[in-house]
Structure 1
Amino acid sequence: MSSYQDKKENLKTRLKRIEGQVRGLHKMVDEEKYCVDVLTQINAVKGALNKVGMEVLESHTKGCVTNAIKEEEKEDEIINELMDVVFKFTNK
């Protein structure tokens, strides 16, 4: 079971909106819209994806990570895995 289960519908709604934004970007490129306008939309999509990612990351930390530590699993391994995910997510 995922730790973001209670946010699933909200996440799916946001991802559908992002999907629409990406389709809009495709159309903008197809129509050769002004570069700055395309770049602005790309930045908006990146921001929206980052927000979704942060919600999933927060749920993972509060759910999966917390539960694993409470169950006395190898705390160092759990924290290392979390930090790997955080670094991958935040490095661009």
Structure 2
Amino acid sequence: MTGRARIVHEPGRARVEPGEILVVATTDPGWTPLFLTAAALVTETGAIMAHGPTVAREYGMPAVISVPGATRLITDGQVVTVDGAAGTVTTAL
């Protein structure tokens, strides 16, 4: 899935447009509404049964977890490609 990255630190103040890639440090149930419009998920932490990847699977969206520094290395609005099957996140040049 390719789209513009949306870096989010606080779910209650966030706005994610349809097709954007949600890039976060971690998630919990308070983040769930953002999954309704996001196209994919990238998290800095997590495990296969953690909240973020579990909800992503339920919504059929690709997710890559445990990407150290993702919210710092990816720029808000940057075009990224998330390949959940390969576990990769690539940025456009």
**TM beyond 0.5:** no
- Give the TM-score taking structure 1 as reference length: 0.18
Q: Which has the higher strand share?
A: 2
Please identify the structure whose Cα radius of gyration is greater. 1
Q: TM-score if structure 2 supplies the norm length?
A: 0.18
Higher RCO (C-alpha under 8 Å, 6+ residues apart): 1
